[in-house]
Amino acid sequence: MSLDLRVYLVLDPAHTGGRSPLEVAEAALRGGVTVVQLRWKVGPLREMLRWGAALRELCRRYRVPLLINDRADVALALEADGVHVGQEDLPPEVARRLLGPRALIGVSARTPEQAQAAEAAGADYLGTGSVFPTGSKEGARLIGLEGLRTVARATRLPVVAIGGVNAENAAACIQAGAAGVAVISAITQAPDPEAAARALRRAVDEALAARRLEG
């Protein structure tokens, strides 16, 4: 499946404000998210598999890729489109070996060195942050827009900006070189996740169009 990183939903069932993750995901898909990642950090693996199977069907209906955070075994079991791994997770070359050449593999990279290593290991895109302060990930390290720009300049891979991104600051991420934005709370904690996704999509599309015009 092709990779359109414009608005990337990181769906963490611990951060949906008590609402059904599937309902939040469907609203976000109606609003125009272009990638979904299932991020499951607490709770039984079997529950992750049940949610993941339902989410896979939903994403297929919308023709949007589903990636699994951290777990290549779960991605394989669910026949998901790929996996997102961090610097302390399964190395991307191992994920590639397990999932094959068609899988989408994303890697978290905060520095030019990490970006270049991920590129050499066969990653398809980078997740770079935290660009802004975030309440959704303990211990996230702030790199700011300057850090994002430095990573984007150091790689040929598309970079998705993560950490505290919302419809107000998404354009700044695109101006700094990102291909798209990845969010948890801006969609999953919003009173209206569909409207929130639509606002993000509009902000990103406008910023990408402006960047193209600037040449």
Ligand X SMILES: Cc1nc(C(=O)O)sc1CCOP(=O)(O)O
Ligand Y SMILES: Cc1ncc(COP(=O)(O)OP(=O)(O)O)c(N)n1
By CB under 5 A, what part of segment 67-86 binds Mg ion? Answer: 70, 86
Contact at 8 Å (CB) between 115 and 129?
no
Q: Closer to ligand Y at the Cβ: 84 or 96? A: 84
Span near ligand Y by CB under 6 A; candidates 48-56, 81-89, 116-124, 205-213: 81-89
Partner that binds at residue 160, options Mg ion, ligand X, ligand Y, none, CB closer than 5 to 8 Å by kind: ligand Y
- Of the pair 88, 214, the CB lying nearest ligand Y is at 88
Q: Is 51 annotated as a binding residue?
A: no
Active site members: 39, 108, 137
- Does position 70 interact with ligand Y (CB under 6 A)? The reply is yes
Rounded to a whole number of angstroms, the minimum distance from the CB of residue 203 to Mg ion is 26
Among 30, 77, 89, 116, binds Mg ion (CB under 5 A): 89
Cα atoms found within 13 Å of the Cα of residue 71, Cβ hemisphere only: 19
Binding residues for ligand Y restricted to 173-192, rule: CB under 6 A:
182
What's the rounded Cα separation, in Å, for the pair 211 and 79? 36
Q: Give the integer Cα–Cα distance in Å for 10 and 132.
A: 16
| Dist. CA 81–CA 19, nearest whole Å | 25
Structure tokens at 18: 């008590």
Contacts of 27 (CB under 8 A, 6+ apart): 192, 193, 194, 197
Alpha-carbon span 147 to 163, nearest angstrom: 12
Find the shortest distance in angstroms from Cβ 108 to Mg ion.
7
185 binds, among ligand Y, ligand X, Mg ion, none (CB under 5 to 8 A by kind): ligand X
Is 164 assigned to a binding site?
A: yes
Residue 160 touches ligand Y, criterion: CB under 6 A: yes
- The tokens 């994303």 sit on which residue? 106
First-to-last CA distance in the chain? 28
169 annotated ligand binder? no
Closer of 113 and 192 to ligand Y (Cβ): 113
Q: How many CA atoms lie within 13 A of 41 on its CB side?
A: 10
Other beta carbons within 10 angstroms of residue 118's beta carbon come to 26
- Residue 15 lies near ligand Y (rule: CB under 6 A): no
Annotated binding site: 37-41, 69-70, 89, 108, 134-137, 164, 184-185
Contacts with Mg ion, residue ranges (CB under 5 A): 70, 86, 89
Annotated binding site for Mg(2+): 70, 89
